[in-house]
Chain A
Amino acid sequence: MLVFVIRRLMQSALVLLVMSVLVFAGVFAIGNPVDILINPQADQAEIARLTAALGLDQPLWRQYAVFLRQAASGDLGNSFVYNVPAIGLILERLPATLELAVCAMLIAVLLGIPLGLWAGLRPDSIAGKSIMAGSILGFSLPTFWVGLMLIMVFAVQLGWLPSNGRGETREVFGITLSFLTRDGLAHMVLPALNLALFKLSLIIRLTRAGTREAMQQDYVRYARAKGLSMRRIVGVHVLKNIMVPICTVIGLEFGSLIAFAIVTETVFAWPGMGKLIIDSINVLDRPVIVAYLCITVILFIVINLVVDLVYSLLDPRVRLAAAGN
């Protein structure tokens, strides 16, 4: 197990290094941030001064070396726009994004598994068919348009829920959270629902397929023959077996939730990392773009690692296979 973790960590470090080179080279290739930041009437001397101050007059490899050395000590450079450390800027926004993503995942899991079970146990009932039709719709609808429609219906027409921002937040151990206040919770409903929709459809389909397959297995027939109640068969035997793929998907999809939060955050003006990256791309704020990518890549690596570990804990067969190697 330890060897596995160490090997994975080394692979991850390599991926991170490759990514940093690609991203740095790529980000360097786009436009000149000085053009955007400086007053259009600035003279040549002023431009040169700003270029030097930002370190943009150095050769590319030296800029990368400086970047790498600083990155190793947790300093990814100052934002050109805000002139504060880029990494701090991102980390400051991280709780908002994580909060939204966790809430969306909870909605997807808590609604998706029961709905999927229902559709899997009664595939030919009207409810089962409607659930599946709904999930096709959930797959098809582009997230941003659903967000707009949610705003149109619930914020503009009905006026039930607020449509932008985080609302009132409360600090816990220095982290600002929305879900602790009534107002914050109200602000979170629409964006979380919007972000959850796609994953909800995915979990419904996965659960349904797993349930249908599991119901035909011998162990279910045996449990029935033993006279166990349907509730116990589904709740204990079936659920336990379909949870392995579902857990994997939940883990892997959590990363993509953070990425797709970019769209939801833009629609609902949710002050998370996603909104920051879009703003930063528009003004070519390189350090922030690089910092965002580095943090996202690290997040992904950690998530993938955790998923692998949890997987082997959940499914003894995986553990045996790993030990056999």
Chain B
Amino acid sequence: MTQPQTPQTEETPARRIATDFAASHLAVAGLATLLLILLLALLAPLISPQNPYDLAQLDVLDSRLAPGAQSGDGKMTYWLGTDDQGRDMLSGIFYGLRISMLVGISTTLAALAIGLAAGLTAAYFGGRTDSIIMRVVDMQLSFPTILVALILLALLGQGTGKIILALVVVQWAYYARTVRGIALVERRKEYIEAAVCLALSPLRIVFRHLLPNCLPPLIVIATVQVAAAIALEATLSFLGLGLPITEPSLGLLIANGFSYLLSGKYWISFFPGLALLLAIVSINLVADRLRDVLNPRLQK
């Protein structure tokens, strides 16, 4: 008689989440695409055929070439064509993804930190603090993101730092409201009561006990918001309010190609748009799956 082989590994939460996540092929495909995009963005300077920001490397004679065309000096092939300044679209897209990811991730981290602090403060202290913070949040959320960001950028001017600032201002309120909602529910639970009875300091209760239990839904929102930030940055850049023309992000590359779209030169707008789309869809697919996996109510 042989004992049935039982798996040695324990069922840890991380392992369970990973297994659940992998059950959806679509989500795994999304994650793979996302990792690939992150890799491309990170390695952009190493793998790009050309530095799209270095004007000395651009040849105006090569401008608006169709995908697959050879450069004038015969040294390289423009697999995705060139834009109106002779910039290789493939390199432009790699560098553009880099900016998009940088903007998306840093915006989300900063907005998450501010929103967490505001939401936890509102929920833990309640009373007047709560109503002041939430009044500001409500007022801000009653205006569409694009309008607020547009006005801020009109005031601040162009630049990567400024666009991140504008997006953080737009996004922190979502986290604050969500965190407050969750924290209010968690606050009434027994483990917080127990912690209070143990006379732990409020800081310790908030950060060691309250915060970890608020995190799962926040992870989902943060993932969605990375995609939202990337889309908003692209939109603002498209409108000419985001990043300077010397360092084109995906939105600006698309805007550059807009005027040539009507004459059939589709590639200048199409390929950066496709890259943007892949980035956003893959993030949303991952977020959609995370929402199901992290929701305890849907656990069997």
Contact = CB atoms under 8 A, between A and B. Distances in A.
Interface of A: 15, 23, 26-27, 29-30, 136-137, 139-145, 148-149, 151-152, 155-156, 163, 255-256, 259-260, 262-263, 266-267, 277-278, 281-282, 289, 293, 296, 300, 304
Contacts of A26: 151, 155
B144 interface: yes
Contacts of A267: 258
A278 B288 CA distance: 34
Interface stretch (B45-53, B64-72, B113-121, B270-278): B270-278
Nearest to B269: A148
A30 B238 contact: no
A148 B258 contact: yes
Contacts of B241: 281
Contact of A23 (B150, B151, B266, B270): B151
B235 A143 contact: yes
Nearest to B241: A281
B231 interface: yes
B155 A30 contact: yes
A185 B52 CA distance: 42
B146 A263 contact: yes
B182 interface: no
A139 B287 CA distance: 13
Interface of B: 139, 142-144, 146-147, 150-151, 154-155, 157, 227, 231, 234-235, 238-241, 251, 254, 258, 261-262, 264, 266, 269-270, 273, 276-277, 280-281, 284-285, 288
A142 B284 contact: no
Contacts of A260: 144, 146
Contacts, number: 96
Which residue, A141, A148, A152, A266, has most C-beta atoms of chain B within 10 A?
A148
A139 B142 contact: no
Contacts of B264: 156
Given A30-B154, A281-B241, A144 B139 contact: no
B262 A163 contact: yes
B220 to A, nearest CB: 14
A142 B235 contact: yes
25 contacts: A30-B154, A136-B281, A136-B284, A136-B285, A140-B231, A141-B277, A142-B277, A143-B235, A145-B269, A145-B277, A148-B258, A148-B261, A149-B270, A151-B261, A151-B262, A155-B262, A156-B261, A163-B262, A255-B144, A259-B146, A262-B150, A263-B146, A263-B238, A282-B240, A296-B147
